[in-house]
Structure 1
Amino acid sequence: MSIAERIPTFFPSPDEIPPQQLLSAPVELRDYLLNGELRHWQGAVQDVFSPVCVRTPGGPERVRIGSFPLMGEADAHAALDAATAAYDCGRGRWPTMGVADRIRHVQHFASLMKEQREAVVRLIMWEIGKTRSDAEKEFDRTVVYITDTIDALKELDRVSSRFVIEQGIIGQIRRGPLGVALCMGPYNYPLNETFTTLIPALIMGNTVVMKPPRHGVLLFAPLLAALREAFPPGVVNVLLGAGRALTPTLMRSGRIDVLAFIGTSKAANTLLKDHPRPNRLRLVLGLEAKNPAIVLPDADLNLAVEECLAGSLAFNGQRCTALKLLFVHESVAQQFIALFSRALSAIGTGMPWQAGVMITPLPEEGKTAYLEELLADASARGAAVVNEGGGTVTGTYFHPALVYPVAPGMRLYTEEQFGPVVPIVPFTDIEEPIRAIRESDYGQQVSIFGRNSALLAPLIDHLVNQVSRVNINSQCQRGPDVFPFTGRKDSAVGTLSVSDALRAFSLRTLVAARNHEINKEIITDIVRERRSTFLSTDFIL
């Protein structure tokens, strides 16, 4: 059956959805976490419609799965007031708490979080269209990330649990919190990437205002009670609603000390302009990327196609680390396209709960229309969709499109499509993809496919100064989480990994004293009697 024949029945009728995959009821989220309390919302709300549609006589219709509060400026200031009071200029219970005690709070949260696995996984699946297997991986990876962060902090604290004597000065150096952090994650990994900033911010002693992404709010509903129980009042405060109604007023207050934001550079720049004290603001930003692949003439094409297919289309290409522009040497371009098209025709498409599915409906409103615009622009400038059914649309579903030959001047050459469109650019001279990478606004990662080490070595040496990660014969990706994750140019500010994140949300601070007898007696007494959480030689196992 052709794509065109399958499209009319792509979405299920209501009675074709397996009962065990349905939400028990729409999630009408009315509680929010403020200053250690779950407050009940009685104001305006935003309906949430799943990217999953049902088949009706009038065409596909999105399934309503719940609603969430549309909070405003007054609510944003209440959350900020709570976080500011809990930090209390560094004198609050949380920032002055010992590392071991903060670890226990985070461990308690992780334990409570695990109990909500099925509820969160199902909401990820219905809210953003991620496959069940990928939603489960996102949840489990987040739990592992929390454990790894705890282990990394223990190691960091062990190193800091000794005194240094240098040039007649006794000192102890530890990492201290920065203040109030505003943490905002993206919709494509709404749980994992939100927590990769939230958890290190908290465990280092900062207090937090968290705003979930617009597509990915409901999945936090099962976790609110766990956050309330695990952390002292005001340490975590959750805002729900439109970012444009909440975040500008937070930034204009000047009381946000750390901005942890994963999204677009345009949105990040707008937030930065709102802050009246930019020199006091620490930035942790994960922004756009237009990650390219370079397929050299001697590449193992089967391997290159396998990696490029997964790299460009995993979760519908909605990953900042996705391969978004494939440079393929002209001598192997036609063979590469044939292999890619064949592999593309075999991938699973369908609903998130179906086994073996890779391509699912898209959550963003207007996304299919935007992708169609990119295809139309490329077509008008000499490119074509070369796979069967590529670009076919029904409701929120967009069938993956392989586009060739893409060239400079086309929107697909420079814009981050963030969707299931795969542009292929033929080249004859290696300087062509190198120039494109050098002139790009982005510099996150690149993938190189080839066999000749004599050709790969100089290419690697050049590209490591253009992007933050060079992948050899493998797709671009974030993990493992112990590896640094960052980018050059407009792709990132700051570095995230398990250990780098702890440093991003803290500052090296020291207590020093001249090596005089009275000072040694003071320090010895403080340490022996455990009068300070900072001056301490306690060793966390």
Structure 2
Amino acid sequence: MIATYPETSGKCLINGEWRTVDKTADVINPAHTHEVVGKVALCSNEVVNEAIESANQAFKEWSCSDINDRSDRMKKAAEELAQIVEENVTLYVRENGKALVEAKKDLLRCVDVMKGSAQELLEWWKPEKYMDGQNVQIRRRPRGVTAIITPWNSPMVLTFKRVVPAVLAGNTVVVKPATNCPLTIMNFLKVLASHFPVGVINIVTGSGREIGDKLCSDSRVKTIAFVGGTETGKDIMKKSSSTLQKIFMELGGNDPAIILEDANLDKDAIERLKMGVLRAAGQVCSAIKRIYVHESRYDELVEKLTKSFERVVVGDGIQPDVTMGPLNNESQFNYVTGLLERTLQTGANVVTAGIQLDPETWDHGYFMLPSIVTGAQQDSEIVQAEQFGPVIPILSFSTNDQAVEMANDSQFGLRASIWTESEEKAIEVADRLEAGAVFHNNHTVFKDLRLDFPGLKESGLSRETRHGSLELFADSYGFGD
């Protein structure tokens, strides 16, 4: 039987042409590791160079295009993509591992980003006028070739939240999706690219280090948008320093959730807390990765969250009863299982809960039941590390000052959440937390996807909270008399 792969399998997009290359690698289903979902092209340095040149040439005309035309093209692309969401959900689950409900949300959010940003462009592009004895305008212009490097854990929306504003701002792009999960994003980008002039969108896949080295060192690349690990982000900064590229990064996270003494821990709150921990099997930069709870509520929280974890159904995300899929790849699976083993050796307690949907095929995929860790110390690896898996340590505190100190005791500062009946208390604590965004009685994403809040410390670079990140992909300049 000949395997049927997606049309873009094993290909890259250069100057409007979908090409095959000499070398490819398998894309594996993390729920059934014997199953090859498709192929990913391993692009050579020469192919990457062609992609950059294609984008560089296309920029000359696209940068001068009318913004109404840009907006209209994006809206039409969004309409077409909305029609193929259903047919791509299964593919996305098979290569990524997410449960069906989560996967569909990711795909729909791509469409939302396109529609919202296309509309936002028209207002954002207007010059800002200042009149104080001199007529001055703040005007905007695109920067040039933009390199967009995205991860395997949430490749759809994280890619579109960068490609869409970059293109709308008048830039051209070279997109480098992750090799573990490139197929669905390639299908979506194929539709998007068809609505824009040749060369505006180019796609290369393969070795992150080799392609990254080329993108970071090439003087034709003016902006780098990267989502991924902090150490890789540091490496990109070093390599891009010779050309002084503008860098926009969303990096790692170790998000704290702080449960104050007066928190409402009813069924709905526990469900929101659980989802904040276990969304995408915990493989989300902005997932809850440590919980700090007031000592008077500690036992109650542990008991309620454990019971909630007991109802989690783990298995192949294609199955409708599954609420949590597998980890995405062998490397991450080995890291998280090793982390749990080392945690047990420190004397901490690990309680594993949940339901195996299919025990007979459990070892065929990168499946893990969720675990709660108690008795860990603040300086332990399980608390300080970015677990990126279905594991959560719970620690107690006696005062709000202590909770803030413990929450800020991290190299990361991406997101945080505060759980209390008092909005005043929540804001008081939030003002003291080192995080790019803080949620009240929830730990999620902002419904308006045009809002973007990069992290602090080693969780990210570039500050922009409005306009769907359009500002990050443009230069502003003053014009006056």
- TM-score norm. by structure 1 comes to 0.82
In structure 2, the CA distance between the partners of 1:454 and 1:25, relative to structure 1 (3 Å rule), is: closer
Q: Which amino acid aligns with 1:406?
A: A
Which residue of the partner structure matches residue 130 of structure 1?
A: 98
Which residue of the partner structure matches residue 361 of structure 1?
A: 326
Which residue of the partner structure matches residue 25 of structure 2?
A: 46
Q: Which amino acid aligns with 1:360?
A: G
Moved over 6 A (4+): 389-393
Q: State the 1:371 CA deviation.
A: 1.4
Name which one, 1 or 2, has greater alpha-carbon Rg.
1
1:27 equivalent to 2:6? Answer: yes
In structure 2, the CA distance between the partners of 1:84 and 1:300, relative to structure 1 (3 Å rule), is: same
In structure 2, the CA distance between the partners of 1:389 and 1:468, relative to structure 1 (3 Å rule), is: closer
**CA distance, structure 2, for counterparts of residue 457 and residue 37 of structure 1:** 52
- Check whether the contact 1:481–1:497 (CA below 8 A) recurs between aligned residues: no
**CA distance, structure 2, for counterparts of residue 450 and residue 164 of structure 1:** 43
Which residue of the partner structure matches residue 79 of structure 1?
A: 51
1:282 equivalent to 2:252? Answer: no
- Check whether the contact 2:314–2:368 (CA below 8 A) recurs between aligned residues: no
**CA distance, structure 1, for counterparts of residue 158 and residue 309 of structure 2:** 28
**CA distance, structure 1, for counterparts of residue 134 and residue 300 of structure 2:** 70
- Check whether the contact 2:153–2:328 (CA below 8 A) recurs between aligned residues: no
Q: State the 1:413 CA deviation.
A: 0.9
1:468 equivalent to 2:436? Answer: yes
**CA distance, structure 1, for counterparts of residue 21 and residue 282 of structure 2:** 38
User: What are the residue-to-residue correspondences of 1:168-207 with 2, within 5 Å?
Assistant: 168-169=134-135, 171-207=136-172
Which residue of the partner structure matches residue 64 of structure 1?
A: 36
**CA distance, structure 1, for counterparts of residue 415 and residue 180 of structure 2:** 26
Q: Summarize deviations over 1:319-367 as a string: whole Å, max 9, x none.
A: 1111000112222211211111111111222221222422111112132
- Check whether the contact 1:119–1:222 (CA below 8 A) recurs between aligned residues: no
Which residue of the partner structure matches residue 325 of structure 1?
A: 290
1:413 equivalent to 2:383? Answer: yes
**CA distance, structure 1, for counterparts of residue 117 and residue 423 of structure 2:** 36
Structure 2: runs of 5 or more not aligned: none
Which residue of the partner structure matches residue 270 of structure 2?
A: 305
Which residue of the partner structure matches residue 167 of structure 1?
A: 133
User: What are the residue-to-residue correspondences of 1:374-413 with 2, within 5 Å?
Assistant: 374-388=339-353, 394=363, 395-413=365-383
Q: State the 1:456 CA deviation.
A: 4.2
User: What are the residue-to-residue correspondences of 1:313-352 with 2, within 5 Å?
Assistant: 313-352=278-317
Q: State the 1:121 CA deviation.
A: 1.7
Which residue of the partner structure matches residue 103 of structure 1?
A: 71
Q: State the 1:246 CA deviation.
A: 1.0
Which residue of the partner structure matches residue 486 of structure 1?
A: 454
Q: Which amino acid aligns with 1:241?
A: G
Q: 1:209 aligns with which of 167, 174, 182?
A: 174
- Check whether the contact 2:310–2:355 (CA below 8 A) recurs between aligned residues: no
Q: 1:427 aligns with which of 397, 400, 411?
A: 397
- TM-score norm. by structure 2 comes to 0.91
Q: Summarize deviations over 1:410-467 as a string: whole Å, max 9, x none.
A: 211100001100111122233333222333111122111223566545323322xx21
In structure 2, the CA distance between the partners of 1:24 and 1:154, relative to structure 1 (3 Å rule), is: farther
Percent identical among aligned pairs is 27
**CA distance, structure 2, for counterparts of residue 338 and residue 63 of structure 1:** 38
- Check whether the contact 1:210–1:236 (CA below 8 A) recurs between aligned residues: yes
Q: Summarize deviations over 1:122-168 as a string: whole Å, max 9, x none.
A: 221110011222111111111011111011111223x43x8766535
Which residue of the partner structure matches residue 223 of structure 1?
A: 188
**CA distance, structure 1, for counterparts of residue 445 and residue 66 of structure 2:** 35
Structure 1: runs of 5 or more not aligned: 1-22, 54-60, 515-541
Q: 1:291 aligns with which of 232, 255, 261?
A: 255
User: For this pair of structures, how many residues does the alignment match?
Assistant: 473
Q: Summarize deviations over 1:69-106 as a string: whole Å, max 9, x none.
A: 1111111111111111222xxxx110011111222222
Q: State the 1:115 CA deviation.
A: 3.6
**CA distance, structure 2, for counterparts of residue 471 and residue 401 of structure 1:** 24
**CA distance, structure 2, for counterparts of residue 387 and residue 199 of structure 1:** 41
- Check whether the contact 2:260–2:294 (CA below 8 A) recurs between aligned residues: yes
**CA distance, structure 2, for counterparts of residue 269 and residue 410 of structure 1:** 24
- Check whether the contact 1:324–1:417 (CA below 8 A) recurs between aligned residues: yes
Q: State the 1:389 CA deviation.
A: 6.6
- Check whether the contact 2:253–2:386 (CA below 8 A) recurs between aligned residues: yes
Q: Secondary structure at the match of 1:167?
A: coil
- Deviates most, 318-327 or 331-340: 331-340
1:268 equivalent to 2:233? Answer: yes
**CA distance, structure 1, for counterparts of residue 240 and residue 50 of structure 2:** 18
Q: Secondary structure at the match of 2:29?
A: strand
Q: Summarize deviations over 1:218-245 as a string: whole Å, max 9, x none.
A: 1134335424421112211110112112
**CA distance, structure 2, for counterparts of residue 386 and residue 347 of structure 1:** 14
**CA distance, structure 1, for counterparts of residue 468 and residue 186 of structure 2:** 29
